[in-house]
Amino acid sequence: MTVICPVCNNPINAANPPFCPHCGVRILPLSQKVFSLIQKILLDGPATVLCKPRKREHLLPPIRLREHVGGDGAFEAVGNRFLDHFKTHGGLKPYDSVLDVGCGSGRMAIPLTTYLNNDARYEGFDISRDCIAWCKEHITSWYPNFHFQYVDVFNNFYNREGTIRPEHFIFPYDSDSFDFINATSVFTHLLPKDTEHYFSEISRVLKKDGRCLISYFFINPESREYISKKKSHLDFFKVGEGYYSMVKDVPEQVIAFDEEFIRELYAKYGLAIKEPVHYGSWCGRERTMDFQDMVIAIK
């Protein structure tokens, strides 16, 4: 049942209490009996009873959860910049169904709440229990079409207790169900076999003509040259065939791939790269779109 919020006059899905997603007023859920009684009294009265409006707090996770996704200082700026990338380069529309792989503490989800409308669907999953708990409590409570899921997947850096091997993890969504998939700074923490499996899952859950935006550190002739000339901010060494790290004991702390290895995965899993690749400034390049290398692809 759709009702009109008496405070901001926007339609609200009454199945989604307790807050109007537009103005944040609290909707007091009523039993059918009480509701019918009030309706009788008010005749054609409003379908909601309102408490004192709750002031919506500024959506910003605590510092510990901002640090989980890599530094707290630029949390909001990075999120806003990526929203712009999603719209400008990824063709994101306000009504799209969006999957955020490794959504962390909502760095992308928070700005997306200002862009996606009530018909849109946002799904985020992550292997950090604390991040997901915060997102559910602070984002879903205001934006009921934003859903978050904790998944107990192993990562040598982020979740050493994880019980599911990443190369076996099946994304908990139907096939062909998303218009847009984001994986920002996630494949920079996955080993090659896990990356290949995540590619197969992204390809499975993406709709035909759906787009995905994934960020990487690409080792290619240009970035090699910057690294060898000591211009790079990051200094990778080879760990195994096709991949590199900066941390010997825990390579997953930061992973780079041979660009060719990743290009082969796009081809293998039916994702066409929308050229040009947006190479990043991490290795010392100038005039770039962002810090990491960014690939947009279409199924």
Ligand X SMILES: C[S@@+](CC[C@H](N)C(=O)[O-])C[C@H]1O[C@@H](n2cnc3c(N)ncnc32)[C@H](O)[C@@H]1O
The binding site for ligand X (CB under 6 A) comprises 68-70, 101-104, 107-108, 126-128, 131, 153, 155, 158, 166, 184-186, 189-190
Count of other CB atoms within 10 angstroms of residue 104: 27
- Smallest distance, ligand X to C-beta of residue 157, A: 7
- Of the two residues 130 and 222, which places its CB atom closer to ligand X in the complex? 130
- Of the two residues 48 and 293, which places its CB atom closer to ligand X in the complex? 293
- Smallest distance, ligand X to C-beta of residue 265, A: 16
Count of other CB atoms within 10 angstroms of residue 296: 22
- Smallest distance, ligand X to C-beta of residue 234, A: 14
Q: Are 181 and 213 in contact (CB under 8 A)?
A: yes
- Smallest distance, ligand X to C-beta of residue 17, A: 29
- Of the two residues 92 and 186, which places its CB atom closer to ligand X in the complex? 186
- Smallest distance, ligand X to C-beta of residue 151, A: 7
Q: Are 15 and 1 in contact (CB under 8 A)?
A: yes
Instruction: Kindly report the three-state secondary structure assignment for every residue of 244-285.
Output: EECCCCCHHHCEEEEHHHHHHHHHHCCCEECCCCECCCCCCC
- Of the two residues 193 and 229, which places its CB atom closer to ligand X in the complex? 193
CA distances (Å), origin 112, targets 37, 134, 142, 204: 39, 16, 13, 23
SS3 of 288, please? coil
- Of the two residues 127 and 256, which places its CB atom closer to ligand X in the complex? 127
Distance CA 240, CA 287 (A): 31
